[in-house]
A and B are shown apart, each in its own frame.
Chain A
Amino acid sequence: MLFPLLAANTDHKFYVSTTNIEFVPSSKSVQIISKIFIDDIEEALQKRYGKEVSLATKKETDADRELLKSYVMQKFHISINGKEATYQYLGIDYETDIVKCYLEITGVSALKSIEVENTILLDAFDDQKNIIHIKTPESRKSMVLDNDNPKGLLNF
């Protein structure tokens, strides 16, 4: 058996996104790459906004990319050292069946704690899991966010 691009639904579903967050002290920045299956995000956007969205095809429009951007910014929040951080949405690129969103928080000189709230796709799929990998020069940690726990806090 093979699921369509790993994203079938109901009882064979396998909904996962992966977000890599890295704290880079030399550039005082927190660098974020969120990898989401294109089919999942298209389905979510279509359901949510009732509009056909075609990413990574010739039919892709600027409006489609804008929709993706506003959706990600609505659903992905991050707090650094107890304070909600503003991040810059640098853009996206594609890798086979995945869209990678690049976000960056600048001006972070020390990282004591990080709280991630990632509800991307949780509105569309009950069983969606958003995996978060956090890397600092000293440590690597992971957590899994889902509808039961859409938010996770890590102290360093």
Chain B
Amino acid sequence: MKCLSLVAIFLFAGIVQAQEETKPERKPGHTNNNRFKQLYEEFSTPNTYRSANGAPGPDYYQQQADYVMDIELDDKNARIYGNETITYTNNSPDALEYLWVQLDQNVRAQTSKSKLIEPSGAAPAEMAGTFVGEYMGTGFDGGFKIDHVKNDKGANLPYTINQTMMRVDMPKHLQPGDKFVFSIKWWYNIPEHTIDRARSGYETFDDGNRGYVIAQFYPRMAVYNDVEGWQNSQFFGRDEFALPFGNFEVNITVPADHTMDATGKLLNRKEIFSKDMMKRYEQAKKSYDKPVVIVTQAEAEAASKGFSTEKKTWKFRAENVRDYGFATSRRYIWDMMAVKIGNKDVMAVSVYPPEGNPLWEDYSTLAVAATLKSYSRMTFDYPYHKAISVHAKNQGMEYPMICWNYGRPDKDGTYSERTKYGMISVIIHEVGHNYFPMIVNSDERQWTWMDEGLNTFVQYVAEQDFGEWYPEAIAPNKAYPSRRGPANKIVDYMAGDQDQMAPIMTKGLNTYSFGNNAYGKPATGLNILRETIMGRELFDYSFRTYAQRWMFKHPTPEDFFRTMEDASAVDLDWFWRAWFYSTEYTDIGVQDVKKFYVTSKMNKEVREMMEARGMKAEDLPPLVYLVEEGSEDFEESMRTSTLDDVTTLNEYIMDNVPASERANMKKPKFFYEVTFEKPGGIPMPIIAEYTYSDGTTERITYPAQIWRKNDKSVGKVIASEKEITKIVVDPDEETADIDTDNNTWPKRKKLGDFNNFKNKVKED
């Protein structure tokens, strides 16, 4: 700054000196590699399907798949049988030659390639059980057994199974606007999910009864859209799903002594419920503060002693859902309460075996209700009529209106704090998935972060709400102990080995550290946008706009990025580029602080410039000189002088500032040039906290754009009436700065975790 203005003065003086002849080595040219370059190359050009503002375009379409299914559970043999009729509506402008159906259960087929794509090495030692399973077992006979695929006239349709995908060939092309009706009859052996961690299956309780949590259990239509054509990427087990919306009519036949809940409205409640259950259900619909038990623990334990050979068929209907799941067992307890969302009542529901108590009766339904309130505030009013949390050991998995959650007390009924918080957090997370991706229906298989990352972000907001609403539930903590969300929690990951990292914009299956990559980092990024870069008002409005634009539709990453900018007028291309498209990290610090004094006495730099140009002092306009402390021109007397002693300045003020205004002028005494350095790649805002000699502090945030012309270091002049004693960059650790050693001036090492611990141990 200082040099620039001086050069300008000498130019105005009309003297142009011939530059000394030097031959600097000429650098090669380059393309635009500015970190603030817009994302035109990364983004596809908007079109009539998807608009440039991030909203669905005028020609946006999506396919519809409606299902009518008859399902029967064989509890004795742990098998499930189904016959489903799919009505597929082609809303696309394309004529379709074939349909792709997803057979997710085939991931457990003996011919599955899931294990084959994972490299393995000889471990020095193996767990005996792992060894047996890996090298000695014959394996579980999983996967769909397809009895037939027929058209609506009952004639067989040709089909081809490619691992977890099935192509169904239609007799003629399915024209735009037309429907195709076909049916699939199937069955499969249900896996025990506690052994192989299937996301659906059964658990065997100590008394021999089973609890079934059933999902991905029927052949499901793949998505066909304007971005991918058919989304027929194979299922390998970790990557989740892409599914079209539709309406479901599902009849599920189970032993008569089972308690069940499922996606959709129960149509034959009067047939299924006892008089007592009906009475309790009516009470639950009016209970807004605590759950009402529909099936008690005593009733569940009594039912667990039998094994009914009678059957009962539960009939459900669900509208506008992308998937279907249910949970059933004779060992289930069932409770519910009502929660007001907008102007309607939603039921918050929990289903759990006695093994879940005392934890589940206390917290599950409360957590469901709190989640619906927080998420509805952050996005849109929950559109379905209920949300169910089912307790399944070790599971955390989501489906429309229903999800499986872990968190089990020890057998003696005690539980640790971490079991409790693990349980409440997983319920908030999985119930939260109703919003992302069940309603804002992104493609999970391609972009894991779009549902897991966005959901983990809102989960953090909801956890904090939960802590505020139920302080007694989190005591003695003052705030809910969230594991993810705050910026400093992602530092260990972002400071890690670059070879073990992938940008967030990577297909989920191909990432290294799945939890950090797809959950923690995107959630933290959104939290940084909300708290530090955009502010809550702009962020929340934009985030809600995205959710509302894309509810019951299929968004892509660009639709999200574009909406966040379009609705806020904040250019975030630099942030998406750094945080989502790269593995860069944040590291900003104070490199140097120079102290200056103001004087009217010419200093060396100016004298040399003047002489080099053959000028005389009289040729110069009135100047104020800055002299660095300790430099050649520095004199001790400058420490005590004030601006009033600078004659050039005084004269200027006398000539130009009316006397009445002079009293109001600031009189800075201390002048600093602060140089901030940026060893990290991410151009974050510089949050600088200045502490003055009187103990007061002032915080100035320089927007990220301060780095746009110099990516390594930038200077800032501070004129102050008080002496600066300390400068701290990012004092609240809100930017995920991976190295805070350089964040303080004078360089002072923060007492780290290690020394804190040592001191604590000493005190003990």
For this complex, 22 residue pairs linking A to B, each with C-beta atoms less than 8 Å apart, are: A1-B452, A2-B519, A3-B396, A6-B515, A10-B196, A11-B114, A11-B196, A12-B238, A13-B197, A14-B513, A14-B515, A31-B754, A35-B492, A54-B410, A58-B414, A59-B414, A93-B757, A93-B760, A97-B422, A100-B757, A104-B758, A133-B495
A56-B417, A91-B761, A102-B757 given; A2·B483 CB < 8 A: no
B residues within 8 A CB of A28? none
List of 8 A-B pairs having minimum Cβ-Cβ separation, nearest first: A2-B396, A142-B497, A57-B416, A31-B754, A10-B197, A147-B123, A11-B237, A148-B121
B126, B483, B513, B752: the one within 8 Å of A96 (CB): B483
Are A5 and B492 in touch, CB under 8 angstroms? no
Give Cα A24–Cα B311 distance, bound, in whole angstroms.
71
Chain B residues closer than 8 Å to A78, beta-carbon distance? none
- A126 CA to B115 CA, complexed, in Å: 14
Return chain B residues, CB-CB under 8 Å to A33. 753-754, 757
Contact B497 A56, beta carbon cutoff 8 Å: no
Q: Closest approach, in angstroms, between the C-beta of A114 and any C-beta of chain B?
A: 16
B261 to chain A minimum Cβ distance, whole angstroms, is: 20
Complexed CA–CA distance, A44 and B563 (Å): 47
Question: What are the residues of chain B within 8 A of A39 when measuring CB–CB?
Answer: 418
Q: How far is the CA of A123 from the CA of B519 in the complex (A)?
A: 28
Contact A96 B421 (CB under 8 A): yes
In the bound complex, do residue B124 and residue A147 qualify as a contact, i.e. CB atoms below 8 Å apart?
A: yes
A97-B422, A147-B124 in contact; A142/B197 too (CB < 8 A)? no
> Is A124 among interface residues, defined by CB-CB distance under 8 A?
yes
Q: Would you call A51 an interface residue if the criterion is a C-beta within 8 Å of the partner chain's C-beta atoms?
A: no
Q: Are A143 and B492 in contact (CB under 8 A)?
A: no
Task: Indicate whether B731 reaches chain A with its CB closer than 8 angstroms.
Answer: no
Task: Give chain A residues whose Cβ lies under 8 Å from the Cβ of B422.
Answer: 4-5, 97
Residue of B nearest to A38 (CB): B418
User: In the complex, A92 Cα to B288 Cα: how many Å?
Assistant: 43
**A47-61, CB under 8 A of B: which get 1 and which 0?**
100000010111100
Partner of A90, one of B196, B238, B513, B758: B758
A131-B197 CB under 8 A given contacts A57-B416, A96-B483, A147-B121: no
Partner of B416 from A22, A54, A143, A148 at Cβ < 8 Å: A54
Given the complex, which residues of A lie within 8 Å of B429, measured CB to CB? 2
Q: Which residues of A contact B130 (CB under 8 A)?
A: 126
Neighbouring B residues of A143 by C-beta, 8 Å: 497
CB contacts under 8 Å to A, within B191-248, are: 196-197, 199, 237-238, 240
In B384-427, which residues have CB < 8 Å from any A CB?
Answer: 394, 396-398, 406, 410, 414, 416-418, 421-422, 425-426
Which residues in A have their C-beta under 8 angstroms from that of B120? 126
- Residues of chain A touching chain B, judged by Cβ–Cβ distance below 8 Å, are 1-6, 8-14, 16, 18, 20, 22, 31, 33, 35, 38-39, 47, 54, 56-59, 90-91, 93, 96-97, 100, 102, 104, 122-124, 126, 129, 131, 133, 140, 142-144, 147-148, 150
Beyond A4-B426, A147-B123, 10 additional contacts (C-beta under 8 Å) are: A4-B422, A6-B515, A10-B196, A20-B492, A31-B754, A33-B754, A57-B416, A124-B127, A131-B496, A147-B124
B contact residues vs A (CB 8 Å cutoff): 114, 120-121, 123-127, 130, 196-197, 199, 237-238, 240, 394, 396-398, 406, 410, 414, 416-418, 421-422, 425-426, 429-430, 452, 481, 483, 492, 495-497, 499-500, 513-515, 519, 739, 752-754, 757-758, 760-761
Residues on the B chain within 8 Å of A104, using CB: 754, 758
A4 partner residues in chain B, CB cutoff 8 A: 394, 396, 406, 422, 426
- Nearest-neighbor residue (CB-CB) of A55 within chain B: B416
- Chain A residue nearest to B430 in the complex (CB): A2
Say yes or no: B757 contacts A90, CB within 8 Å.
Answer: yes
CB distance from B331 to the nearest CB of A (A): 21
Is B237 touching A12 in the complex (CB atoms < 8 A)? Answer: yes
With A8-B394, A9-B197, A14-B514 as given contacts, are A56 and B416 in contact (CB-CB < 8 Å)?
Answer: yes
Which residue of chain A lies nearest to B500 when distances are taken between CB atoms in the complex?
A144
* Docked-complex contact B418 and A96, CB < 8 angstroms: yes
Docked CA distance A2–B404 (Å): 10
Q: Which of these, A1, A133, A150, contacts B492 with CB under 8 Å?
A: A133
Most buried by B among A4, A10, A13, A14: A4
Partner of B758 from the list A12, A14, A47, A102 (CB cut-off 8 Å) is A102
Q: Is the CB of B497 within 8 A of A144?
A: yes
- Flag if A11 contacts B492 (CB, 8 Å): no
A141 to chain B, nearest CB (A): 9
- What's the Cα separation between A20 and B416 when bound, in Å? 27
* Given A11-B237, A16-B513, residue A5 in contact with residue B754 (CB < 8 A): no
- Which residue on B lies nearest to A10, using beta carbons? B197
- Report the separation of the CA atoms of residues A104 and B421 in the bound assembly, to the nearest whole angstrom: 32
For B753, the closest partner residue in chain A by CB is: A33
Closest CB in chain A relative to B124 CB, distance in Å: 7
B754-A22 in contact (CB<8A): yes
**Which chain B residue shows the least CB distance to A132?**
B497
Q: In the complex, what's the smallest C-beta–C-beta distance from A2 to chain B, in angstroms?
A: 4
Q: Which residues of B contact A150 (CB under 8 A)?
A: 124
In the complex, the answer to whether B492 meets A18 with C-beta atoms within 8 Å is yes
**Within the assembled complex, what's the spacing in Å between the Cα atoms of A75 and B410?**
29
For A102, the closest partner residue in chain B by CB is B757
* Residue pair A12, B197 in contact (C-beta under 8 Å): yes
Specify which chain B residues have a CB less than 8 angstroms from the CB of A122 in the assembled complex: 123-124
Residues of the B chain whose Cβ atoms lie less than 8 Å from the Cβ of A1 = 199, 240, 396-398, 452
Q: Which residue of A lies closest to B432 (CB)?
A: A2
A123, chain B: closest CB distance, angstroms: 6
Cβ A56 vs Cβ B418 within 8 A: yes
Rounded to whole angstroms, the CA-CA distance of A93 and B764 in the bound complex is: 13
CA distance A35 to B495 in the complex (A): 15
B120, B237, B421, B422: most-surrounded residue (chain A CB, <10 A): B422
Complex: A16 Cα to B500 Cα, angstroms: 12
A2-B418 in contact (CB<8A)? no
Question: A1 to B430, alpha carbons, bound, how many Å?
Answer: 7
Shortest C-beta distance, B41 to chain A (Å), equals: 30
Closest to A124 in B: B127
Decide if A90 touches B481 in the complex (CB within 8 Å). Answer: no
Contact residue among B121, B418, B497, B754 (Cβ-Cβ distance under 8 Å from A102): B754
Q: Closest CB-CB distance, B435 to chain A, in whole Å?
A: 15
In the complex formed, the residue of A with least CB distance to B758 is A90
B748 to chain A, nearest CB (A): 13
CA A142 to CA B754, docked complex, whole Å: 19
Cα distance, A143 to B495, chains bound together (Å): 11
A147 to nearest B CB, angstroms?
5
Give the residues in chain B near A20, CB-CB below 8 Å. 492
Residues of A within 8 A of B481 (CB): 96
CA distance A57 to B415 in the complex (A): 8
Q: Which residue of the partner chain B has the closest CB to A14?
A: B515
